[in-house]
Amino acid sequence: MVHALQEAWRVLVPGGIMIDVRPLCVDVPLEILTPAGSESAGLVDMNPEIDKDIASDAAIQAVIGDGLYKMVEQEYFDFAYYWNSIREFKADLDERWKDEVILPIEVLKRARAMFKKHQDDARLRIRIRMKLAKFTKS
């Protein structure tokens, strides 16, 4: 990963900007949304990719330490995903996030029960914590 950041530095113009935007590997609530508000069914485990998260942070610190980049700013925000049904949610997880997310069976059971109460008016949501950092070429 350090090599990729060094290569990005090589092709950037002097003072050029590099953006690091990625999801953080932190557990997030699976929420059931209704007209009355939202309620959590429990936490979805986003930690299977934690090694990549740690490696990304280490690589960035290494190139900053080498004087290639300077951090200009860093912030965090939530990126929300929505589903209209449990079936849609489960299919999406199985198809796109199979190795990145662990959905505890208790959370899925709780979500099904909560969703069933509000079936016609309910949606599901997870809000993934994102990191956005801006660096300039030194």
Structure tokens at 105: 């069976």
Amino acid 58: pLDDT: 95
* Confidence category of residue 59, pLDDT binned at 50, 70, 90: very high
Domain extent at residue 69 = 2-137
Q: State whether residue 51 is helix, strand or coil.
A: helix
* Confidence category of residue 60, pLDDT binned at 50, 70, 90: very high
What pLDDT, in 10s, does the model give residues 79-107? 999 999 999 999 999 999 888 899 999 99
pTM confidence score: 0.81
d(CA 85, CA 126): 13
Instruction: Give the mean pLDDT of the chain.
Output: 93
State yes or no: pLDDT of 66 exceeds 80. yes
For the chain, the domain total comes to 1
* Confidence category of residue 56, pLDDT binned at 50, 70, 90: very high
* Confidence category of residue 8, pLDDT binned at 50, 70, 90: very high
Amino acid 54: pLDDT: 92
d(CA 101, CA 88): 16
State yes or no: pLDDT of 119 exceeds 80. no
Quick one: which H or E segment has residue 106? helix 105-117
Q: Judge contact between 27 and 136, C-beta under 8 A.
A: no
